[in-house]
Amino acid sequence: MAHLEVQPKRKGSPLIWIIFVILAIATAVLLYRGCNRTEPLKVATTDSTKSDTIKTDSSVMVTTQPDWNAIDFNIPKSSLAEITDTAIIVRGNDKYTIYSLGENILFAPNKSVLQPNAAAKLAQIATSLQKRYKTAAIAIYGHTDSVGSFKTNKTLGAERAKAVEGWLATKGGILPDKLSIHSLGEKQPIADNTTAEGRAQNRSVEIVAYTNGEKSN
């Protein structure tokens, strides 16, 4: 009788099982991370400085810094009770009041030295300014006609405005830091420079109290 040799059943290699377990663990870890992944942080692109910006109305003019180049010297005439001298022409709107005096009242022709009779008229204007516009900025404009060179007229207008400024500061009781001078010379005429009457009207000094809506007393 033949002898049969039975071989024992071969067991699987332990290395294969180790590799399988490692792969299984790695797969589980990847799946877990994929399911719990969060969205990346989004960086706001809005300029944060915009929220801190205070909007201002560009149409509002600041009383302490008026636009002296925007004064309209042809605004309607008005009247003030304390201005009784008919030589003083008053004009006004809701932003400023203009006191106007002709050249012949304040100065001799082509001169910038105040005449003696100018004091009473400037005193009346100073009293009105102190009564009504205590906090207003005040500008003094020198106007001339178009006779002569532009440079000469510009210089004469400045000298006359300076003379009026000096009187208001030293004798009129107006604080110097409220005053400023501006020479327009022959620019912005209020009348026709081709006639003698028009030229006479254009030779003047205007004192402008910039109130910007401030109510007078």
**Which amino acid, one-letter code, is at 134?**
K
What is the C-alpha separation between 175 and 103, in angstroms, rounded? 24
pLDDT tens per residue across span 135-155: 899 999 987 766 767 788 788
Looking at the chain, the whole-number percentage of residues with pLDDT higher than 70 is 64
Is the four-CA dihedral 83, 87, 88, 91 of positive or negative sign?
A: positive
- The residue with tokens 């009293």 is 127
Q: Which residues pair with 141 in a beta bridge?
A: 182, 206
Decide: 99 and 124 in contact? Cβ < 8 Å: no
Cβ burial 173-200 (10 Å sphere, 16+ → b, else e): ebeeebbbbbbbbbeebebeeeeeeebe
Phi-psi domain of 171 (left: phi exceeds 0; alpha: psi -120 through 50; beta: other) = alpha
Helices (H) and strands (E) in the chain, counts: 6, 5
Q: pTM for the complete prediction? A: 0.65
What is the C-alpha separation between 209 and 19, in angstroms, rounded? 96
Name, in order, each residue with C-beta under 8 angstroms of 26's C-beta and a sequence gap of 6 or more: none
The CATH number fitting domain 68-210, selected from 3.40.50.300, 3.40.50.2300, 3.30.1330.60, 3.40.50.150: 3.30.1330.60
Decide: 109 and 147 in contact? Cβ < 8 Å: no
pLDDT tens per residue across span 79-134: 999 999 999 999 999 999 999 988 778 888 788 889 898 999 999 999 999 999 98
Hey, where are the domains in the chain?
A: 68-210
The residue with greater pLDDT, 57 or 95, is: 95
